[in-house]
Every structure is written in C-alpha cells, then in structure tokens.
Amino acid sequence: MTSSKQLNKTSKFLSLVLRHEPEAIELALDKNGWANIDALISKANDSDEANPLDHALIQEVVSTSDKKRFIISDDGQNIRANQGHSINVDLQLKPATPPEFLYHGTATRFLDSILQEGLKPQQRQHVHLSTDIEIATNVGQRYGKPVILTIKSLLMNEQGFMFYLSENGVWLTKSVPGIYINNH
C-alpha cells in the first residue's frame, strides 16, 4: 500500500501532465486527451520531475481517488483526466439534460465579480458544477471563505445552453451568465 502522501503527489503530477502541461515531460496526448500509460511512465521516470511511476501506482491513484479525476481506457493502455483541462482536448462528451439546480463553490472575494460577469471557465475549457452542496463547499474552501452559488441549470439548458456530464459526475458548461446564478 502506497502512502497517502505519495498518492497525493502522484495525483498532482498526473493532473499537471494530463490536464495542463504534457510538454513538461515531453508527453504526447491525442486529440481526446489520452496518453499511453507506458509512454507516461517512461517520460515521467526520465524527467527531472523526480516522480517515479509504474503501472501499479497509476492504477492505485485512479482507483483510490475520491475525486475520480482520471480514467484508464477499457483496454488498460491509456489514461486521461476526466475534466479540468487548460489545454484544448475533445473529451467526446455528449450533451446531457442537467437537474433543475446545480451548485458552484467559490470564495466570497470573487462573489461581486461573478454576480456581475457570470461564471467563466478562466483557464479551463468549462465551468465545473456539482449536484452536491458539500462538494461545492469543499471546492470553495480551496480559495478562501466559501460561498455556494445555485445555478438554474435546467432553465439554462431549456434556453439553449449545453451541459455535459463528465465520467466522474462533474457537470460542465461553457459559461453561466449572472442571471442564472443565485447567491445564498
């Protein structure tokens, strides 16, 4: 069993190279964000990142992560992040009808700007939303004193906004105009 510290370090490393900077270890992702696991292991172990990887460690990170950030392909040869990319990849997500309300956790210091300008993906491809207030609260706490925003997601969808459900249950949309946001 790997230590939680090593699992966390490996998860952060995988997030970096699979969501943001594959070039940090000269890794190639395909257009759908998949990386060959053998190439990932080889490039990571040859890099200056000093984060030794093997198949068992990658499998343990994927299977034990509470956020389910990564998925391994059915044939076991490839891995990708489920969402959160700042690089352009096509996750092949199909439009889905969201529930009436979804939630977004942020910090109170961002509230005025969000209420004026809406939610934007910032450096990512999508705005991330949750069906779970507790998860949204945990996300908001990462940035300061949390505030939970209620998104009128079904109304947005009915008015032409597209929603997608990632493999790990995170709802994604391109943006959320302020008129669809309630602050509690």
CATH code of the domain covering residue 145: 3.20.170.30
**Number of domains making up the chain:** 2
Element (H, E) at 57: helix 55-64
Domain of residue 38 covers 4-81
- Asked if 74 and 116 sit in the same domain, the reply is no
Per-residue pLDDT, 50: 58
Residues 177, 130 contacting (CB under 8 angstroms): no
Per-residue pLDDT, 34: 97
Q: In which region does residue 118 sit, left (phi positive, over 0), alpha (psi from -120 to 50) or beta (all else)?
A: left
- Asked if 112 and 76 sit in the same domain, the reply is no
Query: What's the CA gap between 167 and 69, in Å, rounded?
Result: 9
Examine residue 86 and state whether it is found in any structural domain, yes or no. no
- What predicted TM-score, i.e. pTM, was given to this entire model? 0.76
Query: What's the CA gap between 134 and 120, in Å, rounded?
Result: 21
Per-residue pLDDT, 91: 85
- Asked if 139 and 76 sit in the same domain, the reply is no
Q: Three-class SS of residue 132?
A: coil
Examine residue 93 and state whether it is found in any structural domain, yes or no. no
User: Where among 81, 110, 142 does a domain terminate?
Assistant: 81
Strand partners, 80: 71
Examine residue 95 and state whether it is found in any structural domain, yes or no. no
Q: What is the pLDDT along the chain (184 residues), one digit of tens a residue?
A: 678 888 989 999 999 999 999 999 999 999 999 999 999 999 999 886 656 899 999 999 999 887 788 999 999 999 999 888 888 888 888 999 999 999 999 999 999 999 999 999 888 889 999 999 998 999 889 888 999 999 999 999 999 999 999 988 899 999 999 999 998 6
- Asked if 77 and 106 sit in the same domain, the reply is no
Query: What's the CA gap between 184 and 182, in Å, rounded?
Result: 6
Per-residue pLDDT, 52: 84
Phi, psi of 13 (to 5 degrees): -65, -45
- Asked if 146 and 107 sit in the same domain, the reply is yes
Residues 79, 68 contacting (CB under 8 angstroms): no
Q: Three-class SS of residue 168?
A: coil
Per-residue pLDDT, 168: 83
Quote the tokens at residue 27: 């890794």
Per-residue pLDDT, 18: 96
User: Where among 33, 51, 81 does a domain terminate?
Assistant: 81
Query: What's the CA gap between 169 and 50, in Å, rounded?
Result: 32
